[in-house]
Amino acid sequence: MTVSPLIEARAVLRRAARTAATLLGPLDFSLGAGERVAVIGRSGSGKSVFMRVLAMLDPSDGGELLWHGRRVERHAITRYRRSVAYVQQRPALIDGTVEDNLRYPYSLRAYRDARFDREHAARLVAAAGKDADFLSKRASDLSGGEGQVAALIRVLQLAPEVLLLDEPTASLDPQSARAIESLVQAWFDADRAARASIWVSHDPAQAERVGERRLTMHAGTLTDHRETRT
């Protein structure tokens, strides 16, 4: 039996709505279980567009996206997004405390079968190198970096199968960035056979740490470093 990749993009294309300029692709890409991919590339090269298309937050204008070898039907998009979690570059937090933010997903239909686990959340907070009072901080008082930490914990507590991380440490000091890296590593190690991640980074040293497979985005096209090595 062949095992399907977790996610497979076939000739996926994304155009700008207004100008119809090509933003992404057509590109082929596949992400297998156990893979950690790092994506680097200049600002404006299409890294975030790529992540948003994979997360099914933006529609593709051509090609197809397969999940475990199957097309994702409209009714399955909610389940897909629950499994394939996108951590955006500038996370949106709701008013209230960090804990309110961590509780928020459980108020959504998609998570009605799950329950907020405060102890689990507290463990993630500690693993991120934050004090226990982090949970009671007001979201509006957080620094950009702390907001990233809160947004990442909000996603990790839901144990996704795929993590799409869009420059999650861009506004963090090196020490906090390392804490985020180990938090993601712990999530991956908890079920390596079933999980995979794509990490967009502008830091080549970080890309080395967070991905065995490294890709470069250039003008909406991905180059696999393995294929270009001679």
Ligand X SMILES: Nc1ncnc2c1ncn2[C@@H]1O[C@H](COP(=O)(O)OP(=O)(O)O)[C@@H](O)[C@H]1O
Q: Which stretch in 41-49, 61-69, 78-86, 155-163 sits in contact with ligand X by CB under 6 A? A: 41-49
The C-alpha atoms of residue 201 and residue 16 are separated, in whole angstroms, by 24
Residue 130 lies near ligand X (rule: CB under 6 A): no
* x/- track of binding to ligand X for residues 44-73 (CB under 6 A): xxxxxx------------------------
Q: CB of 89: closest distance to Mg ion in angstroms?
A: 5
Q: CB of 143: closest distance to Mg ion in angstroms?
A: 20
What is the distance in angstroms between the CA of the first residue and the CA of the last residue of the chain?
33
Q: CB of 132: closest distance to ligand X in angstroms?
A: 35
Residue 91 lies near ligand X (rule: CB under 6 A): no
Q: Which helix (H) or strand (E) is 64 found in, with range? A: strand 62-67
Residues at the site binding Mg ion, with contacts judged by CB under 5 A: 47-48
Task: Say if strands 22-31 and 162-166 run parallel, antiparallel, or are unpaired.
Answer: unpaired
Identity of the residue, 48 or 216, whose beta carbon is nearer to Mg ion in the bound complex = 48
Q: How far is CA 54 from the centre of its chain?
A: 10
What Å distances lie between residue 174 and 10, 129, 169, 178, 229, CA to CA?
A: 36, 12, 9, 6, 30
Residues found near ligand X in the complex (CB under 6 A): 16-17, 23, 41, 43-49
